[in-house]
Amino acid sequence: MRVHTRETQSSLTPEKAIQILKEGNNRFVGNLKANRNLLQQVNETCNGQFPFAIILSCIDSRTSAELIFDQGLGDIFSTRVAGNVVNEDVLGSMEFACKIAGSKVVLVLGHTHCGAIKGACDRVEMGHLTVLLQKIEPAIKLETATISDRSSKNTAFVQNVAENNVHLMMERVREESRILKEMEQIGEIRIIGGMYNVETGKVDFYE
């Protein structure tokens, strides 16, 4: 499989870009891989890159976006931070990816059994991690279905918070980046979410 060029990237609609991610995840779950010559892709991307999507995911070692979506060199921008939280640096990266580099999709990708979500649920405080986990607090407050055992020991509670967190981060992208909001409004990009299941490898998309 060849790398994306300026022509192939520009010809993609946001919907087609999302479909490419879905097809890639289906290959991953089926233990299949697109036929790629990675060394050839190194050579083909040495003078430029034309990724079709930017994916914000957690630093969890099981959530490599390139593997989960069966993508090669130059196909996607991968931004990773514990708890897949949004901050100014992440927003700047997304704006660069879409406005400057031509990406068609912003995907906020959470995952099941997330350690950052568990830490936030347990009110963990430790150095700079304290500030990071505070960004997940709104997702905890939004979860009102769970009355008792609102801790990391409650798997259902943790998963509800993780899903809330993805949706809230999607909204933060729209609210805090005028550039990305306007690009989505005129159909140049799509801002979507997803949840990766660490037990099955499957991604459920929130569109």
User: Is there a contact between 49 and 101 (Cβ–Cβ < 8 Å)?
Assistant: yes
Nearest CA among 32, 17, 21 for reference residue 109:
21
Cα separation of the two ends of the chain: 27
d(CA 68, CA 90): 21
Binding residues: 58, 60, 111, 114
Residue tagged 């991968």 (tokens)? 78
Nearest CA among 114, 63, 57 for reference residue 90:
57
Task: Give the distance from CA 206 to its chain's centroid.
Answer: 11
Neighbours of 105 (CB within 10 A): 25
User: Is there a contact between 193 and 109 (Cβ–Cβ < 8 Å)?
Assistant: yes
Binding residues for Zn(2+): 58, 60, 111, 114
User: Is there a contact between 174 and 181 (Cβ–Cβ < 8 Å)?
Assistant: yes
